[in-house]
Amino acid sequence: MATTTTLANPAVLINAVDYTDQCTSAVFTTRYESLEATAFGDTARKYTKGLGNHELTVTLMLAYDTSEVEANLSALVGTTTTVVVYANGSTSPGVTNPEFELAGAYLESYTPVNAALGTLQTVDLTFTGGVLTRATA
């Protein structure tokens, strides 16, 4: 029987700082390059898994205090860091709360001001590359 899980409260840590209370969206894409493995005599193309090129995009509400989003994340632009997403809010991995960690993820750009009248400021951060691990214990 198929089951569906609605992620209503994932936990998000960037560079070991918990941004769960400021995060409104997290999209983790696991991607591997396809390498052609077709040989003479094959009647169709065949592929094998190549290098990983994973991506995590998060949307955070901007805050400018000393230890808040803007101050912490502006220093990460152009560097690599570790980002972790837990499926169900707790920062303890388990069968129903898998941990997805992207170690050595690169943050290429950052928008420190994203303002519009009458709305909360948010920023979309996209972390690319790095080594992906999935843990349930």
| Domain contains 18 | yes
Split into its structural domains, the chain has a count of 1
Q: What is the pLDDT of residue 8?
A: 64
Residue 112 lies in a domain: yes
Range of the domain at 74: 11-32+49-135
Q: Please indicate, yes or no, if residue 91 is contained in any of the structural domains.
A: yes
Greatest Cα pair distance, the chain, in angstroms, is 64
Sign of CA dihedral 119, 77, 23, 5: positive
Q: What is the pLDDT of residue 115?
A: 85
Give the model's pLDDT for residue 6.
54
CA gap 9, 73 in Å, rounded: 22
Asked, for residue 39, whether it belongs to a domain, the answer is no
**Ranges of residues in the chain whose predicted pLDDT is under 70:** 1-8
Distance between CA atoms of 16 and 104, rounded to whole angstroms?
Answer: 13
Q: Which amino acid is at 5?
A: T
Q: Among candidates 22, 19, 135, which has minimal Cα distance to 81?
A: 19
- Residue 114's pLDDT is what? 85
CA distance 103 to 84: 8
Residue 6 within a domain:
no
Q: Is residue 3 part of a domain?
A: no
Q: Which residues contact 104 (CB under 8 A, 6 or more apart)?
A: 80, 81, 82, 129, 130, 131
Asked if residue 42 belongs to a domain, the reply is no
Q: Residue 109: its pLDDT value, please?
A: 94
Residue 44 lies in a domain: no
3-state secondary structure of 96: coil
